[in-house]
Copies of this chain bind each other. A is one copy, B any other.
Amino acid sequence: MLSAAIIGGAGYAGAELTRLLLGHPEFELVAVTSARDEGRPVRDLYPALQACGLVYSAHDAEEVAQDAEVVFLAVPHTAAMAMVPTLLDAGRVVIDASADFRLRDAGVYSSWYQAEHTAPALLAEAVYGLPELWRSAIPGARLVACPGCYPTATLLAAAPAVRAGLVRSGRVIVDAISGVSGAGRSLSEATHYVSATESVAAYKVGSHRHTPEIEQGLGDLGLTDASVVFTPHLAPLDRGLLSTVYLEVEQGMSLDDVHAIYRAAYASEPFVTVCVAGGQPATGHVRGSNRAHIGLAIDQRSGMLVVTCAIDNLVKGTAGQAVQCANLALGLDETAGLTAPVPVV
């Protein structure tokens, strides 16, 4: 067993990491920290985690580094980059669920996150942790930057078409829907039940911070001059994320051909399913799991490929992917701790 800790374990992503690590066959969870809930038993804050005997401890990277061989960061951006050097210096493997090491260009980071990067020297070392697309970089990595939830679904949706050279324009429209847990455990009018239930709305249209991350990823996949128009929406879901991606392809491209390309691309992926022709993924089908389900349609009249990808924003979009990356980084079975079937209805 490898010792593991979570820094920032009391938020939704941290709680989901706690769940997954408690059920993991190779990791032993030894510490969970929280600035706000220090001193509270985990099972008081999250009664579903009755199996957890831990108490939230203080947010002390040095202390955590003494106890844990692998450290998961589920703190907000800027807080993560403040701790990573300490953890790496102590020889720990760091799996960072924040945004701090996702963008390779510190200038892009500062312009979108309104903060100077305090550890730019580590940007080149950080590995972008989307295993299905860039798996080979992860084994042996010291610092894995786990992708954002929207980029995860969007890049999984776009990748086979882009890599196959089907996409003839860098302009990509991404229209996505997320559940309320994506906004975190913080209280706000928008996340009050009475505001959120039975209502949908777009937010941060054209200005969401996941935009440059999606563009960077599309470029890495080979799309020239990627320019993303990204519209996220909030819907009455506790968890779940659906990204609908519009890609311009050659007119006359057949849906069968595209299906074949996608099925081939993901044939050996344990967590990705390409729906049968005509099928569409629903977020309810991946709820609680590390899976991504992908649907394909072509608008023949306009030559537009419309790809949908459903994930659970807290699992494949955050905590599950972090565990998957940790497994790969440390040489474990990639699916360890991620295969328990989840409730189906």
Contacts and interface: CB of A to CB of B under 8 A. Distances in A.
A301 B192 contact: no
A334 interface: no
A289 B48 CA distance: 8
Interface in A191-232: 191-203, 205-207, 227, 229, 231
A156 interface: no
A315 B306 CA distance: 30
Contacts of A293: 47
Contacts of A284: 48, 195, 198-199, 201
Contact of A23 (B18, B20, B173, B341): B341
B238 A235 contact: no
A147 interface: no
A301 B203 CA distance: 18
A123 B96 CA distance: 58
B200 A240 contact: yes
B23 A206 contact: no
Interface in A60-119: none
B201 A238 contact: no
Contacts of A199: 237, 240, 282-285, 287
A273 B200 CA distance: 17
A157 to B, nearest CB: 12
Interface stretch (A158-166, A181-189, A256-264, A321-329): A181-189
B201 A15 contact: no
Interface string A302-315: 10101010100011
22 contacts: A15-B345, A46-B344, A48-B286, A48-B287, A48-B289, A48-B342, A50-B273, A51-B341, A181-B194, A191-B192, A191-B194, A193-B196, A193-B238, A194-B239, A198-B198, A198-B236, A199-B284, A206-B298, A229-B299, A231-B244, A239-B345, A288-B342
